[in-house]
Amino acid sequence: MKMKNMILMGTIILLALFTVGCLVSGTFVIVETFEFTTQSGFYPEAINLSDNADWEEHRDKLDKIEIVGFELWITNNESTEWSYWAYMDDYDMSCQDVTCAEASTTKFLIFDTLTVLPATATTQSTKYVSYAESFTYIKNLDKMKQMMFDGSFNFYGFAEGGTSGNGGAIDSIRVIITVNASDS
C-alpha cells in the first residue's frame, strides 16, 4: 500500500509541476575553432555564432555567459621571437583588413601579449596555450562576454616580430564559451 501511495504522490507532484510550469535550466559549452590565413601578421575573422548548432538551439534561452577561455596553437619558423595579441570589435563583415582594424575606435583588447620563442636551426618553435593557461592572457572579460552574448563579433589577431613578419603562424584558436540557459 505504501508503494501505491508513493507512486500516486509522485504523479501528483509531476502533474502539478507541468500544470503551473516548471523551470528547467542548465549549463552548456559552446566550442568554436577558427583557422586563419594570415595577412602579414594579421589574423581577422568575422564570427557569427548562429552557425553553431548548439548556440542556435539555445540562443533564445540564454541567461548569461559564465566564462570564456581559449586554446591556441602557434608555430614560429624564424630565429627571432615574436609576439601575439588579439582584439574584439563590433561585427562588420567589411572590416577584414589591417587598415580597417587598426582604425577602429570600438575594438578592445581580449588577449594580452604572448611571446613565442624563436625556432632553432633544425626545429620550429611551437607554443600551445591551454584553456587554463589562457586565463593569464585574457583581458576585458566582461566586455568580451557581452559581445559574445550578442552572438556576432569581429576578431583581430596581431603578430609582430621576426624578420619577415610571416615566419610565425597562429595555426588555430578554439574558443570555449560556458553558457547558462533556462526554459520555463
32 closest CA partner among 155, 173, 152, 178: 173
Give residue-wise pLDDT tens across range 22-57: 445 678 788 888 777 767 788 888 889 888 888 888
pTM: predicted TM-score of the whole model, two decimal places: 0.78
User: Architecture of domain 25-183 in CATH?
Assistant: Sandwich (2.60)
Q: Tell me the per-residue pLDDT of 53-107, one tens digit each, with 9 for 90 and over.
A: 888 887 888 888 999 999 998 888 888 888 889 999 999 999 989 999 999 999 9
6-20, 119-133, 141-155: least confident range: 6-20
All structural domains of the chain with their residue ranges: 25-183
